[in-house]
Amino acid sequence: MKSIHSRCRRFALRGALTLALAALMPAWAMAQAYPSRPIRIVVPFPPGGSTDVLARRIGEKLAVAFGQPVIVDNRAGAGGTLGADHVAKSAPDGYTLLMGVTGTNAISGALYPKLPYDVAKDFAPVSLVVSAPLVLVRHPGFAAATVQEVVAAAKARPGSISYGSPGNGTSMHLTGEMFKLSAKASLLHIPYRGSAGALTDLMGGQIDTMFGDFLVVWPQVEAGKVMPIAVTSRQRHKMLPNVSTVAESGYPGFEALSWQGLFAPAGTPPAVVDQLNREVNKVLASADIQEYFGSRGFTLGGSSAADFGTFIRGEIDKWTRIVKASGAKPD
C-alpha cells in the first residue's frame, strides 16, 4: 500500500511539473520566435513632428535588425492620450509599441482625472530614447537677461511678466509652474494652441518669455530673434555652453526634460522587453542616429528597461506634485 501511495505522489508531482512547464511554454516560445511578424510603433501625434521622425528613423533600423517590417502608426488626439490608451489596451506580445513622451506617460496621470489608462501600471518601459532640456528664452526687448533678473522683475511687478506655452498642461506650461513655485514669484501664463503661436508672439514682443522645446527655439536663437536665458537640464547644453542652467542660477535640483521613450503594454514577456531593449540601444549607439539627433539638440538615451522604469516613476512623482501644487488644468 505504501508503494502505491509513493507512486501516486510521484505521478502527482510529475503532473504538477508538467502543468507548470506547459504554462511557461507559450511565453518562452513567443520570446524565442519574436518577432515573427510586423511590429507597430504607435506615435500619439500627427506625422511630421519630432516624435514621428524619431519613431521612423529608429523603426527603419529595427526593421533591418529584426528582419521584419516596423510600421509607424500615427494615432493623434487628446494631447497624445488617445494613442497611448490604444497601446495600453493592446495585446502584450511586443508587436504594438508606444513612442511615449513626458505628457502621455508622466504628466497626464495627474492632469486628467478620467484618464482611461494608468501611466504607472499599464505599460512596460523598454528604453529611454532621447531627451532634451527646455530653454527659457526672452524677447530681445525684454530687459531681464538672467534667471535672477526674471525673478526680480516678477517679484517687483507680480503677474505682469508673461510666459507663453503650447497649451495648458503641456510640459512647457508645467515647467513654468515649477519655476514659479521654486522662485516663489508670480508670472502670467499665456497658453497657445501649439508652440508656433507662442514663439511667433514672443518674437513679436506680445509675451516676454517662454519655456520652449530645444528643437523649436534653437533656429530662432541662432538667428538672434529670441535670446536664451537658461536651460532646464542639470548640466549646461553642449550647443549653448555659455547659457546657465536654472539649477545653477539659484535653484539646485531644478530639472525639467522633454523626453521620449519606447513602451510596450504591461504584461509583455520580460524576454521580449529585453530583446527590444538590446536592439533599441544598438540603434541609439549607431553613428548616423547619434549625429542626426545630436545635431538637433537631443541627448540620445539608451538605458536598461529597469533603469527606464525607475526614471519614469521619478517623472510621474515629480509632475504629479507640480500639477497638484499649481492647480494646473487641461484645456
Rounded distance between C-alpha atoms, residue 113 and residue 324, angstroms: 12
Q: Which of 24-28, 73-77, 78-82 has the lowest mean pLDDT?
A: 24-28
Residue 104: predicted pLDDT = 94
3: pLDDT confidence band, cut at 50, 70 and 90? low
- Segment 109-138 mean pLDDT: 96
329: pLDDT confidence band, cut at 50, 70 and 90? confident
User: 288-326 burial string, b = 16+ CB within 10 Å, else e?
Assistant: ebeeebeeebbbbbbbbbeebbebbeebbebbbebbeeb
pLDDT of 194 higher than 70: yes
Residue 305: predicted pLDDT = 97
Residue 193: predicted pLDDT = 84
Record the cell numbers describing residue 152, joined without a space.
Answer: 526680480
- Segment 264-286 mean pLDDT: 98
Are the folds of 38-131+257-326 and 133-249 the same?
A: yes
Domain boundaries, the chain: 38-131+257-326, 133-249
CB atoms within 10 A of CB 187: 22
Sequence-ordered list of residues with C-beta below 8 angstroms from that of 273, at least 6 positions apart, any chain: 94, 124, 126, 264, 305
Cis? peptide before 26, omega within 30° of 0: no
Residue showing cell 545635431: 295
For 133-249, CATH number out of 3.40.50.1380, 3.30.70.100, 3.40.190.10, 3.30.1360.120 equals 3.40.190.10
Instruction: Provide the CA 35 distance to its chain's centre, in angstroms.
Output: 25
pLDDT of 28 higher than 80: no
- Segment 278-289 mean pLDDT: 97
pLDDT of 18 higher than 50: no
* End-to-end Cα distance, the chain: 76
pLDDT of 160 higher than 60: yes
> Which tens digit of pLDDT belongs to each residue from 196-245?
899 999 999 999 999 999 988 999 999 999 999 999 999 999 999 999 99
Rounded distance between C-alpha atoms, residue 305 and residue 262, angstroms: 10
Higher pLDDT, 63 or 194: 63
Rounded distance between C-alpha atoms, residue 81 and residue 103, angstroms: 8
21: pLDDT confidence band, cut at 50, 70 and 90? very low
Mean pLDDT, the chain, integer: 91
Closest CA to 271 of 62, 32, 4, 6: 32
Residue 170: predicted pLDDT = 87
List helix spans (H) across 93-187.
102, 108-111, 147-156, 171-183
> Which tens digit of pLDDT belongs to each residue from 290-318?
999 999 999 999 899 999 999 999 999 99
- Domain 38-131+257-326: state its class: alpha beta
Decide: helix, strand or coil at residue 141: coil
Residue 2: predicted pLDDT = 47
